[in-house]
Every structure is written in structure tokens, then in C-alpha cells.
Amino acid sequence: MIPAAFEYQRPASVDDAIRALSGAGGAKVIAGGQSLLPLLKLRMASAETLVDIGRLAELRGLRDLPDGGYEVGALTTYADIIAGTKLGWVADAVQDIGDVQVRNRGTVGGSIAHCDPASDLPAIALALDYSAVLRSSRGERVVALDGFFEGPFQTAMESDELLVSIRRGPLPGGAAGAYRKLAQRASGYSIVGVAVVIARDGGTIGHARVALTGVGDHPYRATGVEDALRGSDGSPEAVAAAAEHAADGQTVNGDIHADREYRSRMAVVYTRRAIEAALGR
């Protein structure tokens, strides 16, 4: 299909992009276009103005921060992450997203801002404790991703704000991570996807971040799993018991790919598998 008519702007800088968003009612940002263009073509979305930020080099790249943290520019592609991340488990997870075209064009900022309920990257970023860096004519604010995702395709970002990067602090010493998912075979989207970051303190688990996608109406932290893991010895029994909390407090999705009962059970299974992988089993 053909999208409804729209105006088109290609700003030359981030400041120009922010001015365009401030001055154009009904404006939408386009970068890689992997999510927005299909919606426009199907007329499931519309825009009075498309603000194309795809050539803003200042929004691309992966950077170490002085405090030991890390920042990923909004226009960093999946392929850039695979080539540049220092976390092998993240590279492995991203390598399994979409196909070559999606990985070469799709961007970190697009995935985070789009908030697809079954997208992999938001869960990975949640487990790593990233925050969204948002800029507008009013200034810059930093919003933790835990709370940024509000519902299906809904975030805390205002219409005149531009997501310029995601940023996190340093990981705990000895932290290890893993991502495990049950993928829908035709699309590769997650029926259930689980990202885990764990660090031991002596013989016990001192740090645990667990995030799921594909299960509820938006990616979320499984705080019940985290609470059960922290202070435990990480034994198979402790891991299995913790994983049972994977869908606590969630209205679990049911669709043609998996009904609620099956998806709920797979959330437990894949949470256990991700924790075991992070623990090195």
C-alpha cells in the first residue's frame, strides 16, 4: 500500500531535529525505518511530517564513559552492536534479531522508542540497567528504562523529544549475562525472551537483573525472580524456584502463536535457561 501524504524534513544536526519536532505538529522521527515504514504503508500509523535523522553521525556509536559506564547512540545499528560490543552474550543475542537487512538498518533508538511488546533489544537493555537520554527544546532528561516502557508501543517519551542515546553505569564486578528466547519461526520475534545479568558475591548471588519480552504488553523486569535469586546460592533448586516468578503481576499475552497458559509456562522455562546460562552451566 501507499502511505498517506506527509511533509519530509532532513535536519542537518540534532539541534535542527529538535527544532523540527518542536515546530511540526504530528511529526514522527524516522531513522532506519524498519518499524515505522511498514506501519505507514499499511496506514496503521500516519504522520504530518517525517523528520529523518538517519544521517546524523553524532547519534551513532558505542562509547565507554569516564565512570566505567557505557553509552550507545540512538542511530547505532544492530550490526554496529555485533561488531563493537564488549559483551559476547549481547553480540550473540543481537545476531539472532531479524535478518541481515534488519540488522544493517534497524537502530537501537528505533527499537527502544518503538516499544514493541516482543522486541528483543528492550529486554536486553533493561537487564543491563540502561536509561534513555531524551533531548528537547526544554533541555535533556535521563529516564530509566525500568518505567520508560509503559504499554504496547507506548513510552514515557514526549512527542517533541528526541531519543539521542541509551546510557548505563558500570556493571558489578564479575557480572555475567545471557539471553534466551523462544522465537516465532516466521518472524524471529520473541514468543518469550529473557535477558539476565548476574554477579556473585562470594558463594551467593549479590546482583540479579532479569527482564522479559513477548510475555506482557511491554518488556518488563521480573522483580520477583530477582528477589528470589539475590542471596541464594544459585543452585539448580534455587534457580528453578526463582524462575517460577517470571510472569508475576503480568497479564500474559495470548495469540495465534501461544496461548496464555503455554506462554506463561515458557516464561518460566526460558527464565530458568537464561539464569543457568548466565551462571555458566
106: region left, alpha or beta (phi > 0 left; psi from -120 to 50 alpha): beta
199 pLDDT band, cuts 50/70/90, is: very high
Give the bridge partners for 221, in sequence order.
211
**Integer Cα distance of 202 and 233 in angstroms:** 9
Domains in the chain: boundaries: 7-52, 57-168, 176-278
Q: At what angle do helices 260-278 and 236-243 cross, to 10 degrees?
A: 150
Q: Quick one: which H or E segment has residue 180?
A: strand 176-183
Question: Is residue 225 within 8 Å of residue 246, measured between CB atoms?
Answer: yes
**How many other CB atoms sit within 10 Å of the CB of residue 31?**
26
46 pLDDT band, cuts 50/70/90, is: confident
Q: What is the mean pLDDT of residues 80-100?
A: 96
Q: At what angle do helices 88-95 and 120-127 cross, to 10 degrees?
A: 170
Angstrom distances, CA of residue 26 to CA of 29, 51, 114, 198 = 10, 10, 16, 42
**Integer Cα distance of 119 and 108 in angstroms:** 11
Q: Residue 274 corresponds to which cell in the numbers above?
A: 537464561
Single-letter amino acid, residue 47: A
Tell me the pLDDT tens digit for each residue of 52-70.
999 999 999 999 999 999 9
Strand 190-201 versus strand 70-73 pairing type = unpaired
Does 266 have pLDDT greater than 90? yes
Does 223 have pLDDT greater than 90? yes
Which of residues 147 and 31 earns the better pLDDT score?
A: 147
Does 256 have pLDDT greater than 90? yes
What pLDDT does residue 160 have? 93
Does 185 have pLDDT greater than 90? no
CATH 3.30.390.50 fits 176-278, yes or no: yes
Question: Is residue 174 within 8 Å of residue 271, measured between CB atoms?
Answer: no
List of residues 6+ apart from 147 with CB closer than 8 A: 156
Mean pLDDT score of the chain: 94
Does 34 have pLDDT greater than 80? no
Question: Is residue 14 within 8 Å of residue 58, measured between CB atoms?
Answer: yes
24 pLDDT band, cuts 50/70/90, is: low
Residue for grid cell 502511505? 3
39 pLDDT band, cuts 50/70/90, is: confident
Chain centroid, CA 235 distance in Å: 29
What pLDDT does residue 238 have? 98
**Integer Cα distance of 6 and 254 in angstroms:** 35
> Do 7-52 and 57-168 share a fold?
no
Tell me the pLDDT tens digit for each residue of 124-172.
999 999 999 999 999 999 999 999 999 999 999 999 999 999 999 999 9
132: region left, alpha or beta (phi > 0 left; psi from -120 to 50 alpha): beta
44 pLDDT band, cuts 50/70/90, is: confident
CATH 3.40.50.1820 fits 7-52, yes or no: no
Q: What is the mean pLDDT of residues 82-87?
A: 97
4 pLDDT band, cuts 50/70/90, is: confident
- 57-168 adopts what CATH topology? 3.30.465
Give the bridge partners for 179, in sequence order.
195
Question: Starting from the edge strand earliest in sequence, which strands make up the sheet with 190-201, in order?
Answer: 176-183, 190-201, 204-213, 220-221
**How many other CB atoms sit within 10 Å of the CB of residue 22?**
15
239 pLDDT band, cuts 50/70/90, is: very high
Q: Residue 253 corresponds to which cell in the numbers above?
A: 499475552
What pLDDT does residue 182 have? 97
Q: What is the mean pLDDT of residues 17-44?
A: 80
